[in-house]
Amino acid sequence: MKDETPPDIPTFADVLAARDRIAMHIHRTPVLTSRMLNEMAGAELFFKCENLQKAGAFKARGASNAVFGLSDDQAARGVATHSSGNHGTCLSYAAGRRGIPCTVVMPRTAPQAKKDAVMGYGGRVVECEPSTSSREAVFAEVVAETGAEFVHPYNDRRVIAGQGTCALELADQVEGLDAVIAPIGGGGMVSGTCLTLSQIAPRVRMYAGEPEQADDAARSLKAGYIIADDAPETIADGLKVPLKDLTWHFVRNHVADILTVSEAEIIAAMELIWKRLKIVMEPSSAVPLAAVLKNPELFAGQRVGIIITGGNVDLKKLPWM
């Protein structure tokens, strides 16, 4: 059972096809460095700034790949997802670019800013109660009504292949990387990065960073099977979701280790990045730097890529205020 490969695993050819498909719809994001952060880490850090991506998150890559890969018939019926995070916003962005309908099911308790973000790109928000059963029922209704194509936030071949285009750019922008680290929630970015690096730079070690308070992926990796937490609480709110079969495939086959960090370590790393790199990014994106600073022995003297996954944060509620 352990070595069973799910049937719909994306391939490197999918990543290359995604790159061509989405090139017009995404930014080639810059890589930033800071001598002071290098000194703190005892390593050379290269920050791949997906917070500067279209719609403010790497998820514009996977969402664009899914949307622009649809046939005209499928596209006419639109796309749908359930997400109160960046995936909903990014799917709305991509659908808007193609001029097709997008419906995002969200708990009525989700922050208004998240709903506004979806609607700002032309998407429709349908509210559900804040429970899994309500979400599933409402979502099923939306799909039945519209015939929309479901684009899962991460457990989707097209989405993972799209996220894999980020590492293509990173490897092109930075020579001789020894390791790459990304935050892990559902594992979409980690999976796409593993997929790409295992093909073009197999010597690069892949790490994931995870909040201690939502460490289901770290425990899954140790246990050898997927563990899902019930409603974890962390400031890194993009990282609360569990692994699924496609992402688990990449995590268990390619990830060297999953490093966990405390809430205080996340906030400290976030403030460091804002101050030193002068970028606006969300708490989830601070998890990898926190993990690198906490485990200097793993990265000493090495060239380390750090993926800053998103920048969608409430500027009125910063954690150090």
Q: Interface residues with its own copies (CB under 8 A)? A: 27, 30, 32-33, 35-36, 51-52, 54, 56, 120, 271, 274-275, 277-281, 311, 315-316, 318, 320-321
Measure the CA–CA gap between 124 and 165, rounded to whole angstroms: 28
* CB neighbour list of residue 205: distance below 8 Å, 6 or more residues apart: 178, 179, 180, 256
Measure the CA–CA gap between 173 and 71, rounded to whole angstroms: 33
> What separation in angstroms does the CA of 49 have from each of 1, 189, 205, 291, 316?
38, 13, 20, 17, 22
Is the CB of 1 or the CB of 321 nearer to its own copies?
321
Minimum CB separation of residue 164 from its own copies in Å reads 22
Is the CB of 9 or the CB of 113 nearer to its own copies?
113
Minimum CB separation of residue 3 from its own copies in Å reads 41
Is the CB of 78 or the CB of 310 nearer to its own copies?
310
Is the CB of 80 or the CB of 272 nearer to its own copies?
272
Minimum CB separation of residue 39 from its own copies in Å reads 11
If DSSP states are collapsed to H, E and C, what string results for 31-84? EECCHHHHHHHCCEEEEEEHHHCHHHECHHHHHHHHHHCCCHHHHHHCEEEECC
Minimum CB separation of residue 33 from its own copies in Å reads 8
* CB neighbour list of residue 78: distance below 8 Å, 6 or more residues apart: 95, 100, 101, 102, 103, 146, 147, 148, 149
Instruction: Give the alpha-carbon dihedral of 210, 213, 216, 218, to 10 degrees.
Output: 40
* CB neighbour list of residue 170: distance below 8 Å, 6 or more residues apart: 31, 46, 48, 177, 180, 305, 307
Is the CB of 246 or the CB of 272 nearer to its own copies?
272
Minimum CB separation of residue 311 from its own copies in Å reads 3
Minimum CB separation of residue 280 from its own copies in Å reads 4
